[in-house]
Amino acid sequence: MKPLPMAEINAQSRAEFVRHFAGVLEHSPHYAEQVAAERPFADAEALAAAFAGAVQNDVPEAQLRLIRAHPDLAGKAALAGELTPESTSEQASAGLGRLTPAEYAEFHELNAAYHAKFDLPYVVCVRENTKESIFAGARERLNNTPEAERAAALHQIGRIARLRVLDLVSD
């Protein structure tokens, strides 16, 4: 999507707004529907905060669905080319598309451990990390309680959403 000025975003129809921001939260365009109703926004940061707020204020079951909508890092969906355009670009930005066989194996083990312990994928804002810090963060967060991990994942989703919103706003 081409970045648009905030004045144009605030003037869009609800359908145009949803189409423009549908990919901000992974496979969850209903949040764009909700945020559309909160317009006008002063700037991109206020818009990004509205997306984060919509997630934080949602019911726990919906939050879990959103977390589970995220793909495993360097997982089967990435290898098969089945990621959203946003996730593909983000994972590539951290070098996750150029892993060695040993690194792929380690990601597979970390992803499996995450699913076994939390029944969730490991969610991290890869654009704010390096391949090394992503590995280290996964190992560290495996020590979290389920409640702490859900909170960490939601925080990371807010970081991801912020960057995606900033990509879609031109001013």
Alpha-carbon distance 84 to 99, whole Å?
19
Q: Which two tokens stand for residue 15?
A: 């359908």
Which positions are annotated as active-site residues? 70
Q: How far is CA 47 from CA 17, 22, 31, 62, 70, in A?
A: 12, 13, 12, 21, 21
Q: Where are the alpha helices (DSSP H) in the chain?
A: 6-11, 14-21, 30-36, 44-56, 60-68, 76-79, 85-93, 101-118, 131-141, 146-168
* Distance between CA atoms of residues 127 and 157, nearest Å: 12
Judge contact between 157 and 67, C-beta under 8 A: yes
Q: Could you tell me which of 70, 65, 64 has the C-alpha nearest to residue 83?
A: 70
